[in-house]
Chains A and B, each alone.
Chain A
Amino acid sequence: MNLVVKNIIRLTLMLAIQVFVLNKVPPLHQFIVPYFYFVFLLWLPFKITRTALLFVAFGFGYLTDIFYKTPGLHVAACVFLAYLRPPFIKLLLPKEATEWGNEEPSRKTMGQLPYITYVVGLTLIHNFYLILLEWLQFGSFLYFTGKLLATTLVSLLMIIIADLLLSRNSRTR
Protein backbone atom coordinates (compact mmCIF):
# COMPACT_ATOMS: atom_id res chain seq x y z
CA MET A 1 0.00 0.00 0.00
CA ASN A 2 1.11 3.52 -0.70
CA LEU A 3 2.88 5.01 2.30
CA VAL A 4 0.88 8.25 2.25
CA VAL A 5 -2.49 6.54 1.87
CA LYS A 6 -1.60 4.11 4.62
CA ASN A 7 -0.70 6.91 7.01
CA ILE A 8 -3.79 8.93 6.21
CA ILE A 9 -5.93 5.89 7.02
CA ARG A 10 -3.93 5.38 10.20
CA LEU A 11 -4.38 9.03 11.19
CA THR A 12 -8.15 8.81 10.78
CA LEU A 13 -8.32 5.57 12.76
CA MET A 14 -6.15 6.88 15.61
CA LEU A 15 -8.23 10.04 15.87
CA ALA A 16 -11.49 8.08 15.80
CA ILE A 17 -10.27 5.65 18.46
CA GLN A 18 -9.07 8.49 20.70
CA VAL A 19 -12.12 10.71 20.34
CA PHE A 20 -15.02 8.28 20.02
CA VAL A 21 -13.81 5.30 22.05
CA LEU A 22 -11.13 6.21 24.60
CA ASN A 23 -12.72 9.57 25.33
CA LYS A 24 -15.97 7.84 26.31
CA VAL A 25 -14.60 5.03 28.45
CA PRO A 26 -15.36 5.61 32.13
CA PRO A 27 -12.00 6.01 33.90
CA LEU A 28 -11.16 4.23 37.14
CA HIS A 29 -9.72 7.41 38.64
CA GLN A 30 -9.29 11.03 37.62
CA PHE A 31 -5.54 10.42 37.09
CA ILE A 32 -6.06 7.62 34.60
CA VAL A 33 -6.71 9.24 31.23
CA PRO A 34 -6.04 7.04 28.21
CA TYR A 35 -3.93 8.86 25.60
CA PHE A 36 -3.20 6.78 22.55
CA TYR A 37 -3.47 9.11 19.54
CA PHE A 38 0.19 10.28 19.59
CA VAL A 39 1.30 6.75 18.62
CA PHE A 40 0.54 7.87 15.08
CA LEU A 41 3.56 10.19 15.31
CA LEU A 42 5.72 7.44 16.82
CA TRP A 43 4.88 5.09 13.95
CA LEU A 44 5.60 7.47 11.07
CA PRO A 45 8.36 6.16 8.77
CA PHE A 46 12.00 6.86 9.60
CA LYS A 47 12.68 8.73 6.37
CA ILE A 48 10.22 11.59 6.94
CA THR A 49 12.09 14.91 7.10
CA ARG A 50 12.14 16.93 10.29
CA THR A 51 10.22 19.85 8.78
CA ALA A 52 7.52 17.57 7.35
CA LEU A 53 7.26 15.78 10.69
CA LEU A 54 6.71 19.09 12.49
CA PHE A 55 3.96 20.14 10.09
CA VAL A 56 2.23 16.74 10.30
CA ALA A 57 2.38 16.96 14.10
CA PHE A 58 0.94 20.46 14.08
CA GLY A 59 -1.98 19.44 11.87
CA PHE A 60 -2.61 16.24 13.81
CA GLY A 61 -2.54 18.09 17.13
CA TYR A 62 -4.93 20.71 15.82
CA LEU A 63 -7.41 18.05 14.67
CA THR A 64 -7.30 16.47 18.12
CA ASP A 65 -7.80 19.89 19.72
CA ILE A 66 -10.87 20.48 17.60
CA PHE A 67 -12.53 17.42 19.09
CA TYR A 68 -11.28 18.02 22.62
CA LYS A 69 -12.15 21.77 22.55
CA THR A 70 -8.73 22.64 23.96
CA PRO A 71 -7.15 25.17 21.57
CA GLY A 72 -3.39 24.60 21.45
CA LEU A 73 -2.97 21.93 24.15
CA HIS A 74 -2.47 18.88 21.96
CA VAL A 75 -0.75 20.94 19.24
CA ALA A 76 1.95 21.99 21.71
CA ALA A 77 2.48 18.43 22.97
CA CYS A 78 2.52 16.88 19.47
CA VAL A 79 4.98 19.46 18.09
CA PHE A 80 7.23 18.97 21.12
CA LEU A 81 7.17 15.21 20.56
CA ALA A 82 7.85 15.64 16.82
CA TYR A 83 10.81 17.94 17.46
CA LEU A 84 12.47 15.46 19.83
CA ARG A 85 11.74 12.32 17.80
CA PRO A 86 14.63 12.47 15.23
CA PRO A 87 17.40 13.15 17.81
CA PHE A 88 15.95 10.37 19.96
CA ILE A 89 16.10 7.88 17.08
CA LYS A 90 19.63 8.96 16.21
CA LEU A 91 20.68 8.44 19.81
CA LEU A 92 19.37 4.88 19.78
CA LEU A 93 20.34 3.91 16.23
CA PRO A 94 23.25 5.82 14.71
CA LYS A 95 21.96 5.85 11.13
CA GLU A 96 21.06 8.70 8.77
CA ALA A 97 17.39 9.26 7.94
CA THR A 98 18.08 8.84 4.22
CA GLU A 99 19.56 5.38 4.76
CA TRP A 100 16.18 3.95 5.71
CA GLY A 101 13.69 2.51 3.26
CA ASN A 102 9.98 2.64 3.97
CA GLU A 103 10.35 1.12 7.41
CA GLU A 104 8.76 2.60 10.46
CA PRO A 105 9.82 2.19 14.09
CA SER A 106 8.85 -1.23 15.42
CA ARG A 107 10.37 -4.10 17.37
CA LYS A 108 11.60 -5.74 14.18
CA THR A 109 13.24 -2.72 12.55
CA MET A 110 14.80 -1.23 15.67
CA GLY A 111 15.39 -4.26 17.85
CA GLN A 112 13.60 -5.08 21.08
CA LEU A 113 15.44 -2.89 23.56
CA PRO A 114 15.90 0.27 21.45
CA TYR A 115 12.22 0.18 20.48
CA ILE A 116 11.08 -0.11 24.09
CA THR A 117 13.37 2.78 25.09
CA TYR A 118 12.06 4.81 22.16
CA VAL A 119 8.40 4.26 23.04
CA VAL A 120 8.80 4.75 26.79
CA GLY A 121 10.95 7.86 26.35
CA LEU A 122 8.72 9.65 23.86
CA THR A 123 5.49 8.67 25.64
CA LEU A 124 6.91 10.13 28.83
CA ILE A 125 7.96 13.30 26.98
CA HIS A 126 4.54 13.73 25.36
CA ASN A 127 2.56 13.11 28.54
CA PHE A 128 4.93 15.21 30.63
CA TYR A 129 4.47 18.24 28.40
CA LEU A 130 0.72 17.75 28.00
CA ILE A 131 0.04 17.39 31.72
CA LEU A 132 2.50 20.16 32.58
CA LEU A 133 0.48 22.55 30.41
CA GLU A 134 -2.72 21.36 32.06
CA TRP A 135 -1.13 21.77 35.49
CA LEU A 136 -0.24 25.38 34.70
CA GLN A 137 -3.97 26.05 34.29
CA PHE A 138 -5.18 24.23 37.40
CA GLY A 139 -4.31 21.48 39.83
CA SER A 140 -1.67 20.75 42.43
CA PHE A 141 1.74 19.10 42.24
CA LEU A 142 0.28 15.80 43.42
CA TYR A 143 -2.23 16.04 40.58
CA PHE A 144 0.61 16.56 38.11
CA THR A 145 2.86 13.71 39.24
CA GLY A 146 0.03 11.27 39.88
CA LYS A 147 -1.58 11.92 36.54
CA LEU A 148 1.75 11.78 34.69
CA LEU A 149 2.62 8.36 36.10
CA ALA A 150 -0.84 6.82 35.76
CA THR A 151 -1.42 8.21 32.28
CA THR A 152 1.96 7.07 31.00
CA LEU A 153 1.41 3.56 32.33
CA VAL A 154 -1.98 3.35 30.63
CA SER A 155 -0.53 4.71 27.36
CA LEU A 156 2.31 2.18 27.44
CA LEU A 157 -0.10 -0.65 28.17
CA MET A 158 -2.16 0.30 25.14
CA ILE A 159 0.90 0.57 22.90
CA ILE A 160 2.06 -2.88 24.00
CA ILE A 161 -1.35 -4.34 23.22
CA ALA A 162 -1.44 -2.57 19.85
CA ASP A 163 2.03 -3.89 19.00
CA LEU A 164 1.03 -7.42 19.90
CA LEU A 165 -2.18 -7.26 17.89
CA LEU A 166 -0.86 -5.56 14.76
CA SER A 167 1.96 -7.03 12.76
CA ARG A 168 3.28 -3.87 11.18
CA ASN A 169 5.98 -3.82 8.49
CA SER A 170 5.18 -7.34 7.42
CA ARG A 171 3.90 -6.41 3.99
CA THR A 172 6.25 -3.56 3.09
CA ARG A 173 9.31 -5.81 3.10
Chain B
Amino acid sequence: MHNVFLFLRRYSVFIIFLVMQIVALVMLFTDNRFHNTVFGMVSNVVSGNINQRVNRAEEFLSLSEQNKKLREQNAVLLSMMPSGILITDSAYKLVTDTVKLDSLKEYRQYQYLSAKIISNSVFLQQNYIMLHRGSAEGVAPNMAVVGMDGIIGTVVHVSENMSLVMSLLNRQSKVIATLKKGSGLGEVSWDGKDPRYLLLTKIPKTVVIKKGDTVVSSPYSDKFPPGLPIGTVYKVEQDQETNTYILLVKTAVDFYNVQHAYAVKNLLQEEMNELKRKLIKE
Protein backbone atom coordinates (compact mmCIF):
# COMPACT_ATOMS: atom_id res chain seq x y z
CA MET B 1 0.00 0.00 0.00
CA HIS B 2 2.80 2.37 0.94
CA ASN B 3 4.46 1.69 -2.38
CA VAL B 4 1.29 2.49 -4.25
CA PHE B 5 1.12 5.94 -2.67
CA LEU B 6 4.79 6.46 -3.33
CA PHE B 7 4.22 5.54 -6.96
CA LEU B 8 1.22 7.85 -7.24
CA ARG B 9 3.11 10.76 -5.74
CA ARG B 10 6.15 10.19 -7.89
CA TYR B 11 4.24 9.99 -11.15
CA SER B 12 1.35 12.30 -10.27
CA VAL B 13 2.12 14.74 -13.10
CA PHE B 14 2.32 11.98 -15.66
CA ILE B 15 -0.91 10.41 -14.39
CA ILE B 16 -2.75 13.76 -14.59
CA PHE B 17 -1.36 14.21 -18.10
CA LEU B 18 -2.54 10.74 -19.13
CA VAL B 19 -6.02 11.25 -17.70
CA MET B 20 -6.36 14.63 -19.48
CA GLN B 21 -5.19 13.16 -22.80
CA ILE B 22 -7.64 10.29 -22.50
CA VAL B 23 -10.51 12.64 -21.66
CA ALA B 24 -9.63 14.85 -24.65
CA LEU B 25 -9.25 11.97 -27.09
CA VAL B 26 -12.47 10.32 -25.94
CA MET B 27 -14.25 13.66 -26.46
CA LEU B 28 -12.74 13.91 -29.93
CA PHE B 29 -13.23 10.41 -31.27
CA THR B 30 -16.35 8.93 -29.71
CA ASP B 31 -19.65 9.67 -31.27
CA ASN B 32 -21.36 9.77 -27.91
CA ARG B 33 -24.76 11.38 -28.11
CA PHE B 34 -24.90 12.45 -24.46
CA HIS B 35 -21.48 14.03 -24.56
CA ASN B 36 -22.19 15.73 -27.89
CA THR B 37 -25.37 17.22 -26.51
CA VAL B 38 -23.63 18.45 -23.36
CA PHE B 39 -20.73 19.96 -25.28
CA GLY B 40 -23.11 21.50 -27.78
CA MET B 41 -25.15 23.06 -25.00
CA VAL B 42 -22.20 24.36 -22.99
CA SER B 43 -20.51 25.75 -26.07
CA ASN B 44 -23.73 27.31 -27.36
CA VAL B 45 -24.36 29.06 -24.05
CA VAL B 46 -20.80 30.33 -23.62
CA SER B 47 -19.86 31.27 -27.16
CA GLY B 48 -23.37 32.15 -28.31
CA ASN B 49 -23.55 35.19 -26.12
CA ILE B 50 -20.13 36.51 -27.18
CA ASN B 51 -20.62 35.65 -30.83
CA GLN B 52 -23.88 37.55 -30.79
CA ARG B 53 -22.14 40.71 -29.63
CA VAL B 54 -19.36 40.42 -32.18
CA ASN B 55 -21.89 39.70 -34.89
CA ARG B 56 -23.76 42.90 -34.11
CA ALA B 57 -20.65 44.88 -35.06
CA GLU B 58 -19.93 42.79 -38.13
CA GLU B 59 -23.48 43.01 -39.37
CA PHE B 60 -23.36 46.76 -39.31
CA LEU B 61 -20.49 46.70 -41.79
CA SER B 62 -22.40 44.65 -44.34
CA LEU B 63 -25.77 46.37 -44.01
CA SER B 64 -25.95 47.71 -47.55
CA GLU B 65 -24.99 44.36 -49.05
CA GLN B 66 -27.68 42.60 -47.03
CA ASN B 67 -30.18 45.27 -47.96
CA LYS B 68 -29.52 44.66 -51.62
CA LYS B 69 -30.01 40.94 -51.20
CA LEU B 70 -33.27 41.37 -49.32
CA ARG B 71 -34.52 43.71 -52.03
CA GLU B 72 -33.64 41.15 -54.68
CA GLN B 73 -35.50 38.45 -52.81
CA ASN B 74 -38.45 40.77 -52.37
CA ALA B 75 -38.52 41.26 -56.10
CA VAL B 76 -38.56 37.51 -56.64
CA LEU B 77 -41.36 37.03 -54.14
CA LEU B 78 -43.39 39.92 -55.56
CA SER B 79 -43.17 38.47 -59.04
CA MET B 80 -44.64 35.28 -57.65
CA MET B 81 -47.74 37.09 -56.39
CA PRO B 82 -50.96 35.84 -57.99
CA SER B 83 -51.74 39.31 -59.29
CA GLY B 84 -48.67 39.14 -61.46
CA ILE B 85 -49.50 35.83 -63.06
CA LEU B 86 -52.23 35.39 -65.61
CA ILE B 87 -53.88 32.01 -65.41
CA THR B 88 -56.22 31.00 -68.20
CA ASP B 89 -59.14 28.81 -67.36
CA SER B 90 -57.64 25.50 -68.29
CA ALA B 91 -54.35 26.12 -66.48
CA TYR B 92 -53.43 24.30 -63.31
CA LYS B 93 -50.86 25.12 -60.73
CA LEU B 94 -48.31 22.70 -59.30
CA VAL B 95 -47.03 23.65 -55.87
CA THR B 96 -43.89 21.79 -55.11
CA ASP B 97 -43.84 22.16 -51.35
CA THR B 98 -47.23 20.57 -50.78
CA VAL B 99 -48.12 16.91 -50.78
CA LYS B 100 -51.44 15.96 -52.27
CA LEU B 101 -53.14 13.19 -50.40
CA ASP B 102 -56.15 13.09 -52.69
CA SER B 103 -57.56 15.54 -55.13
CA LEU B 104 -59.33 17.53 -52.43
CA LYS B 105 -56.85 18.02 -49.64
CA GLU B 106 -53.54 19.78 -49.75
CA TYR B 107 -50.96 19.23 -47.05
CA ARG B 108 -48.13 21.54 -46.29
CA GLN B 109 -44.88 19.61 -46.01
CA TYR B 110 -42.26 22.24 -45.26
CA GLN B 111 -42.37 25.13 -42.88
CA TYR B 112 -39.66 27.81 -43.00
CA LEU B 113 -38.45 29.31 -39.74
CA SER B 114 -36.41 32.45 -40.26
CA ALA B 115 -33.25 32.86 -38.19
CA LYS B 116 -30.31 35.18 -37.94
CA ILE B 117 -26.81 33.82 -38.35
CA ILE B 118 -24.61 34.96 -35.48
CA SER B 119 -21.39 33.14 -36.19
CA ASN B 120 -19.95 31.62 -39.31
CA SER B 121 -16.62 30.27 -40.48
CA VAL B 122 -15.41 29.15 -43.89
CA PHE B 123 -11.68 28.74 -43.41
CA LEU B 124 -11.58 25.67 -41.17
CA GLN B 125 -11.86 22.07 -42.25
CA GLN B 126 -15.03 21.61 -40.24
CA ASN B 127 -17.12 24.72 -40.52
CA TYR B 128 -20.19 25.39 -38.41
CA ILE B 129 -22.74 28.16 -38.43
CA MET B 130 -24.63 29.35 -35.38
CA LEU B 131 -28.24 30.49 -35.60
CA HIS B 132 -29.96 32.75 -33.12
CA ARG B 133 -32.99 30.51 -32.83
CA GLY B 134 -33.22 27.39 -30.71
CA SER B 135 -35.46 24.68 -29.38
CA ALA B 136 -37.68 27.24 -27.65
CA GLU B 137 -38.50 28.67 -31.09
CA GLY B 138 -39.06 25.34 -32.80
CA VAL B 139 -35.65 24.38 -34.18
CA ALA B 140 -34.71 20.72 -33.75
CA PRO B 141 -31.61 18.69 -34.66
CA ASN B 142 -31.50 17.26 -38.19
CA MET B 143 -33.50 20.12 -39.71
CA ALA B 144 -32.35 21.52 -43.03
CA VAL B 145 -31.07 25.09 -43.17
CA VAL B 146 -31.41 27.08 -46.37
CA GLY B 147 -30.50 30.61 -47.32
CA MET B 148 -31.97 32.99 -49.84
CA ASP B 149 -29.89 31.51 -52.66
CA GLY B 150 -29.82 27.84 -51.71
CA ILE B 151 -28.88 25.17 -49.24
CA ILE B 152 -26.64 26.05 -46.28
CA GLY B 153 -26.49 22.95 -44.08
CA THR B 154 -28.08 20.80 -41.39
CA VAL B 155 -28.81 21.53 -37.72
CA VAL B 156 -26.67 19.35 -35.43
CA HIS B 157 -27.03 20.78 -31.92
CA VAL B 158 -29.77 22.83 -30.35
CA SER B 159 -29.85 24.76 -27.10
CA GLU B 160 -32.70 26.86 -25.83
CA ASN B 161 -32.02 29.95 -27.90
CA MET B 162 -29.22 28.98 -30.29
CA SER B 163 -28.62 26.19 -32.73
CA LEU B 164 -25.48 24.92 -34.37
CA VAL B 165 -25.52 24.12 -38.09
CA MET B 166 -23.03 21.91 -39.92
CA SER B 167 -22.54 23.89 -43.10
CA LEU B 168 -21.98 22.33 -46.52
CA LEU B 169 -18.36 23.42 -46.04
CA ASN B 170 -17.65 20.63 -43.58
CA ARG B 171 -15.66 17.53 -44.38
CA GLN B 172 -18.28 15.43 -42.68
CA SER B 173 -21.24 16.94 -44.50
CA LYS B 174 -22.99 14.83 -47.13
CA VAL B 175 -26.11 15.89 -49.04
CA ILE B 176 -27.95 13.95 -51.70
CA ALA B 177 -28.23 16.02 -54.86
CA THR B 178 -29.36 15.77 -58.43
CA LEU B 179 -29.05 17.78 -61.62
CA LYS B 180 -31.85 20.18 -62.32
CA LYS B 181 -32.24 19.34 -65.98
CA GLY B 182 -32.03 15.61 -65.80
CA SER B 183 -31.43 12.36 -64.05
CA GLY B 184 -28.52 11.28 -61.93
CA LEU B 185 -28.32 11.03 -58.19
CA GLY B 186 -25.13 12.14 -56.51
CA GLU B 187 -23.62 13.17 -53.27
CA VAL B 188 -22.38 16.67 -52.44
CA SER B 189 -19.40 16.83 -50.09
CA TRP B 190 -16.46 19.17 -49.53
CA ASP B 191 -12.76 18.43 -49.92
CA GLY B 192 -11.65 21.24 -47.62
CA LYS B 193 -9.66 23.05 -50.29
CA ASP B 194 -11.62 26.08 -51.40
CA PRO B 195 -14.74 27.39 -49.67
CA ARG B 196 -16.13 28.50 -53.04
CA TYR B 197 -16.37 25.01 -54.50
CA LEU B 198 -18.06 21.78 -53.44
CA LEU B 199 -17.61 18.27 -54.82
CA LEU B 200 -20.40 16.31 -56.46
CA THR B 201 -19.64 12.61 -56.83
CA LYS B 202 -21.45 9.37 -57.70
CA ILE B 203 -23.17 10.76 -60.82
CA PRO B 204 -22.82 8.03 -63.49
CA LYS B 205 -20.98 8.84 -66.71
CA THR B 206 -24.05 8.01 -68.78
CA VAL B 207 -25.51 11.37 -67.82
CA VAL B 208 -24.45 14.23 -70.09
CA ILE B 209 -23.12 17.12 -68.03
CA LYS B 210 -21.98 20.53 -69.16
CA LYS B 211 -20.29 23.34 -67.34
CA GLY B 212 -22.91 25.63 -65.84
CA ASP B 213 -25.56 23.00 -65.13
CA THR B 214 -27.50 23.64 -61.95
CA VAL B 215 -27.23 21.18 -59.07
CA VAL B 216 -30.29 21.01 -56.83
CA SER B 217 -31.40 19.06 -53.77
CA SER B 218 -32.84 15.67 -54.56
CA PRO B 219 -36.50 14.75 -54.10
CA TYR B 220 -35.30 11.68 -52.18
CA SER B 221 -33.84 13.71 -49.34
CA ASP B 222 -36.08 13.69 -46.29
CA LYS B 223 -34.64 16.93 -44.90
CA PHE B 224 -34.24 19.29 -47.82
CA PRO B 225 -37.19 20.45 -49.88
CA PRO B 226 -36.65 19.19 -53.44
CA GLY B 227 -35.29 21.48 -56.13
CA LEU B 228 -33.44 23.97 -53.96
CA PRO B 229 -30.22 25.15 -55.64
CA ILE B 230 -26.90 23.90 -54.27
CA GLY B 231 -24.67 25.32 -56.97
CA THR B 232 -23.62 25.23 -60.61
CA VAL B 233 -21.16 22.83 -62.22
CA TYR B 234 -17.82 24.56 -62.57
CA LYS B 235 -15.54 21.79 -63.77
CA VAL B 236 -16.26 18.28 -65.08
CA GLU B 237 -13.73 15.57 -64.35
CA GLN B 238 -13.88 11.87 -65.19
CA ASP B 239 -13.06 9.52 -62.35
CA GLN B 240 -10.59 7.02 -63.86
CA GLU B 241 -11.29 4.32 -61.29
CA THR B 242 -15.06 4.21 -61.32
CA ASN B 243 -17.85 4.84 -63.74
CA THR B 244 -18.75 8.19 -62.24
CA TYR B 245 -17.91 11.86 -62.58
CA ILE B 246 -16.15 14.08 -60.10
CA LEU B 247 -17.76 17.47 -60.46
CA LEU B 248 -16.57 20.74 -59.00
CA VAL B 249 -19.64 22.74 -58.03
CA LYS B 250 -19.63 26.46 -57.39
CA THR B 251 -21.80 27.11 -54.34
CA ALA B 252 -25.08 28.92 -54.88
CA VAL B 253 -24.84 30.48 -51.44
CA ASP B 254 -22.04 32.95 -50.83
CA PHE B 255 -20.75 31.35 -47.64
CA TYR B 256 -18.42 34.27 -47.02
CA ASN B 257 -21.36 36.52 -46.54
CA VAL B 258 -24.49 34.90 -45.13
CA GLN B 259 -26.47 36.73 -42.50
CA HIS B 260 -29.96 35.29 -42.66
CA ALA B 261 -31.19 31.75 -43.02
CA TYR B 262 -34.29 29.63 -42.73
CA ALA B 263 -34.50 26.41 -40.76
CA VAL B 264 -36.79 24.06 -42.65
CA LYS B 265 -39.18 21.94 -40.67
CA ASN B 266 -40.46 18.86 -42.43
CA LEU B 267 -43.98 18.44 -41.09
CA LEU B 268 -44.12 14.86 -42.32
CA GLN B 269 -40.80 13.91 -40.71
CA GLU B 270 -42.47 12.11 -37.79
CA GLU B 271 -44.52 10.02 -40.15
CA MET B 272 -41.46 9.14 -42.24
CA ASN B 273 -39.47 8.18 -39.17
CA GLU B 274 -42.34 6.01 -37.97
CA LEU B 275 -42.27 4.07 -41.23
CA LYS B 276 -38.50 3.69 -41.14
CA ARG B 277 -38.64 2.44 -37.57
CA LYS B 278 -41.02 -0.30 -38.65
CA LEU B 279 -38.40 -1.46 -41.11
CA ILE B 280 -35.75 -1.71 -38.41
CA LYS B 281 -38.03 -3.63 -36.09
CA GLU B 282 -38.66 -6.37 -38.64
Contact = CB atoms under 8 A, between A and B. Distances in A.
Q: Do A and B come from the same complex?
A: yes
Interface of A: 20, 23-27, 30, 33, 50-51, 54-55, 58, 61, 65-73, 75-76, 79-80, 83, 133-134, 136-139
Contacts of B20: 54, 58, 75, 79
A69 B25 contact: no
Contacts of B36: 71
14 contacts: A24-B121, A51-B12, A67-B43, A71-B28, A71-B36, A72-B24, A73-B24, A76-B24, A76-B28, A79-B24, A83-B14, A83-B17, A134-B125, A138-B192
B27 A54 contact: no
B42 A66 contact: yes
Given A30-B193, A51-B16, A71 B27 contact: yes
B47 A27 contact: no
A138 B72 CA distance: 39
Interface centre among A25, A54, A61 (most CB of B within 10 A): A54
Given A76-B25, A133-B28, A54 B17 contact: yes
A25 B25 CA distance: 28
A67 B128 CA distance: 10
Contacts of A133: 25, 28
Interface of B: 12-14, 16-17, 20-21, 23-29, 35-36, 39, 42-43, 46-47, 54, 121, 123-126, 128, 164, 171-172, 192-194
Given A51-B13, A69-B128, A71-B28, A20 B123 contact: no
B123 A27 contact: yes
B contact patch SS = helix
Contacts of B123: 23-27, 33
A67 B47 contact: yes
Contact of B54 (A20, A30, A70, A134): A20
Given A67-B43, A71-B28, A72-B28, 16 more contacts: A23-B123, A24-B121, A33-B124, A54-B17, A65-B43, A69-B128, A71-B27, A72-B26, A72-B29, A75-B20, A75-B27, A76-B25, A79-B20, A133-B25, A138-B172, A139-B125
Contacts of B164: 69
A138 B125 contact: yes
- Top-8 shortest CB links A-B: A72-B27, A72-B28, A76-B24, A75-B24, A66-B43, A72-B24, A71-B27, A83-B17
A130 to B, nearest CB: 11
A126 to B, nearest CB: 14
Contacts of B27: 71-72, 75
A78 to B, nearest CB: 9
Nearest to B51: A67
B121 to A, nearest CB: 6
B24 A50 contact: no
Contacts of A139: 125, 192
B21 A76 contact: yes
Contacts of A134: 125
Nearest to A134: B125
Nearest to A133: B28
B187 to A, nearest CB: 16
Contacts of A69: 43, 126, 128, 164
Contacts of A50: 13
A33 B43 CA distance: 22
B28 A66 contact: no
Contacts of A71: 27-28, 35-36, 39
B47 A66 contact: yes
Contacts of A54: 13, 16-17, 20
Contacts of A30: 125, 192-194
B214 to A, nearest CB: 26
A75 B22 CA distance: 10
Nearest to B170: A69
A25 B256 CA distance: 11
